[in-house]
Chain A
Amino acid sequence: KQEVTQIPAALSVPEGENLVLNCSFTDSAIYNLQWFRQDPGKGLTSLLLIQSSQREQTSGRLNASLDKSSGRSTLYIAASQPGDSATYLCAVSPTDSWGKLQFGAGTQVVVTP
């Protein structure tokens, strides 16, 4: 059974610092991995999707890496801003049902001005 774990559960950093969010999963047989952002009272916004054959994806200040063999992904957010405050979720997609995502519990990020 796939287990997705995110560490730390919460993180507070001053503006300008780089953020490093970790995600681990127990079953390496995944189709892809996605990172989402969730704001209070709102839905999820997909940030990055990494296919199982890829090692990383980048979008602006965001970079996500994937090491499928060790069951790990890391989301880097460069030069954090107060607007980056949110909960970040990682989710893996199993190979036999790619849209059936297995989510981690999330990392709650606060960026202080």
Chain B
Amino acid sequence: NAGVMQNPRHLVRRRGQEARLRCSPMKGHSHVYWYRQLPEEGLKFMVYLQKENIIDESGMPKERFSAEFPKEGPSILRIQQVVRGDSAAYFCASSPGQRNEKLFFGSGTQLSVL
């Protein structure tokens, strides 16, 4: 049973470009969470999704950021018109959705904006 898979591991974008980060949850997991770790800061919650639904996006910036988790395929975190301040490690976690189950994290995508 493969763990949470994130790709790419490293992504370099120039200011103004779009960044697409992918997350495939563990098999049998239908709940996905995205977190961001800015340099010298702790991990911050961004968004919580279930299949085809955004449950909580209270941690996501209102502009330029969007997330989806379609019925088929991975969850996608999309950042439009990236700026240098978007440079961070983006982590995805998944769970089967039962209370008091551990979250399983992927290895993250390191986004660097030039």
Contact = CB atoms under 8 A, between A and B. Distances in A.
A104 B35 CA distance: 13
Where chain B touches its partner, the secondary structure class is: strand
Interface of B: 4, 6, 31, 33, 35, 41-45, 48, 56, 59, 91, 93, 95, 99-100, 102-108, 110
A99 B91 contact: no
Interface in A81-99: 89, 91, 97-99
30 contacts: A31-B99, A31-B100, A32-B100, A36-B105, A41-B107, A43-B4, A43-B105, A44-B91, A44-B105, A45-B105, A46-B102, A46-B104, A49-B100, A89-B42, A89-B43, A98-B99, A99-B31, A99-B33, A99-B48, A99-B93, A99-B95, A99-B103, A100-B48, A100-B59, A101-B33, A101-B35, A102-B45, A103-B35, A105-B41, A105-B42
Contacts, number: 62
A43 B102 CA distance: 14
Contacts of A43: 4, 6, 91, 105-108
Where chain A touches its partner, the secondary structure class is: strand
